[in-house]
Amino acid sequence: MRALAVALVLLAAKPAAVDHAPLDRVLQRAVHGRFVDYDAVPKDRAALQKYLEALRTADASALSKDDALAFWTNAYNATVLEAVLAHGRPKSVLDVKGFFDGELHTIAGEALTLNQLEEQKLRSAKDPRVHFVVNCASYDCPPLANRALRGATWARDVEQATKAFLQRPGEVAVDEANKTIRVVQLFEWYRADWGDDAAVRAFIAQYVPKAVAAKVVDPSYALAYRPYDWRANAK
C-alpha cells in the first residue's frame, strides 16, 4: 500500500501539460517567412530554455493524438533552435557531427536523438503532413510557424502548412520539355510514409492548382527529386 501511495504521489507531481507561450515568444521574434533570424533568438534564449526545461519533465502519455503531435513537433523545433545556438550557428547542420543521430535530448523523461524523436513520435502517427511542420534549420525545410502548435488547432495548422509549402513557387516544378515533375528530395526519403510514387503524386495533386495537378498524376510525366539544400535557413 505504501509503495502504491508513493507511486501515486510521484505520478500526480509530474507535470501533465506544457505552457507553449515561451516558444511563441521566441518564434514571433525570430521567424520571418521561410527564414529564421538566429541573431534574434538569443534575446529570448531564457524563454527557450525555460520551455525546453518544461518539456524535459512533461508527461505526454495522456495527451490526445492532436495534442501529442503538437507537443512532439514543438519539442523537435525548439530543440533544433537551441542546438543551432549551442553549436555556434553553423552554415549547415550537416557540419555538426551527430546533430540528428548522436546528440541526446531529454523530452518527457526520454533521452532521444532528433532522428528518434521524428521516427518514434512523429512519423509513427502515420500522417505524412507532419513533415511540413518540422524544421531542421535548413533552406529546403518547410518553414517554422511564427507560433507554437497546439492540439486544438493541429488539424487546421498542419493542413495549411502542407498547402503553403506545396504551393510555394518552384516547389512543384513542371518541366514541359522533358516531361518531368520535380519535387524536393524529402518526398523520396520518406516515400514509405505515402506508400509509393503514385501515392506521392496523388498527395501532391491535392494541394496544387488543377492544371499542375493533372500533370502531376499523369504517368507520362516522370517524377524526379531535386537534391535537398542543407544551407542554414538563416535570415
pLDDT at 87: 98
Q: Cell 535557413, residue?
A: 233
| Total domain count, the chain | 2
Helix then strand then coil, % of the chain, to nearest 5: 50, 10, 35
Same domain, 219 and 130: no
In a domain, 93, yes or no: yes
- Percent of the chain surpassing pLDDT 90: 92
Is 131 exposed, middle or buried, given 0-12, 13-18 or 19+ CB atoms closer than 10 A?
buried
**Model confidence pLDDT, tens digit, residues 35-68:** 999 999 999 999 999 999 999 999 999 999 999 9
Q: Is the same domain home to 146 and 33?
A: yes
Note the pLDDT tens digit of each residue in 151-173.
999 999 999 999 999 999 999 99
Please choose, from the candidates 185, 62, 76, 196, the residue with its C-alpha nearest in 3D space to the C-alpha of residue 130.
76
Is residue 184 one of the residues assigned to a domain?
Answer: yes
Asked whether residue 178 is domain-assigned, the answer is yes
The pTM (predicted TM-score) of the whole model is 0.91
For 232, phi and psi rounded to 5 degrees?
Answer: -60, 140
Q: What is the dihedral of CA 154, 158, 160, 163, to 10 degrees?
A: -170
Is 118 found in the same domain as 217? no
- Whether residues 56 and 86 share a domain: the answer is yes
Task: Looking at the structure, tell me whether residues 194 and 92 fall in a common domain.
Answer: no
Is a pLDDT exceeding 80 seen at residue 14? no
> Residues 151, 179: one domain?
no
In a domain, 31, yes or no: yes
2 found inside a domain: no
Q: Could you count the other beta carbons within 10 Å of the beta carbon of residue 136?
A: 20
Q: Which of 81, 82, 72, 163 is nearest to 112 (CA)?
A: 72
Domain that holds residue 179: 173-226
